[in-house]
């Protein structure tokens, strides 16, 4: 089964000139969702994972599913001031300005084997921030994986020292 058939192209969303890759049809279809989950799991080649990091908010969807199947903990990484406990943060550049992500300081223990998951690898800013958070807490990044990679934006270059996998590449 090709999971690409579940990705819907939306022209001019979020702004004019952008071709947005909508994963909603994939989330809505149990067979497509299961096939995508198998692809993401198979990319790990049976490696042990202690924690799965999911980036707010679309990284939560498959991040939780992956954590469940891997019998691993799930760690939500969120925008500033959304987590109730002590946090550390990492900033990243946007097209116009910067943003940051936060993680609880007790979410990753030194030596934890971590899978980082997000929905899309575009310019790589979010992914780079995620890797910095895990590394700063002493985690070992086993893989950074994505549902979709937009390869023409070269985001992979920002996290090239890590094992990277995308279920679909455009």
Residue 95 pLDDT class (50, 70, 90 cuts): low
pLDDT, tens digit, 9 for 90 and up, residues 129-140: 999 999 999 999
Residue 52 CA to residue 68 CA, distance in Å, equals: 9
The separation between CA 95 and the C-alpha centre of its own chain, rounded to angstroms, equals: 19
The whole-angstrom separation of Cα 137 and Cα 132 is 9
| pLDDT for the residue numbered 93 | 87
* Predicted structure pTM score: 0.96
Q: How far apart are CA 79 and CA 110, in angstroms?
A: 23
For residue 47, give the H/E element and its range.
none
Reported as a single tens digit per residue, the pLDDT across 107-156 is: 999 999 999 999 999 999 999 999 999 999 999 999 999 999 999 999 99
Q: Which CATH number fits domain 47-169: 3.40.50.720, 3.20.20.150, 3.40.50.880, 3.40.50.2020?
A: 3.40.50.2020
Active site residue 95: yes
Domain range annotation of the chain: 47-169
**What is the biggest distance separating any 2 CA atoms in the chain, rounded to whole angstroms?**
44
Residue in 35, 58, 69, 113 annotated catalytic: 58
Q: Is 58 a catalytic residue?
A: yes
């Amino acid at each position: 089964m090709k999971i690409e058939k579940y990705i819907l192209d939306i022209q001019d969303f979020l702004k004019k000139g952008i071709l947005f890759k909508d994963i909603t049809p994939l989330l809505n279809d149990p067979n497509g969702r299961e096939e995508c989950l198998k692809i993401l799991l198979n990319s790990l080649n049976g490696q042990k994972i202690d924690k799965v990091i999911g980036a707010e908010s679309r990284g939560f969807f498959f991040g939780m599913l992956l954590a469940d199947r891997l019998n691993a903990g799930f760690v939500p990484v969120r925008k500033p001031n959304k987590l109730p406990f002590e946090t550390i943060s990492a900033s990243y550049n946007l097209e116009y300005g910067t943003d940051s992500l936060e993680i609880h300081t007790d979410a990753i223990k030194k030596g934890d084997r971590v899978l980082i998951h997000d929905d899309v690898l575009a310019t790589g800013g979010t992914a780079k921030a995620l890797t910095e958070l895990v590394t700063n807490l002493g985690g070992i990044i086993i893989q950074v994986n994505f549902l979709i990679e937009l390869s023409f934006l070269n985001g992979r270059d920002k996290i090239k020292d890590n094992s990277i996998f995308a279920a679909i590449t455009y």
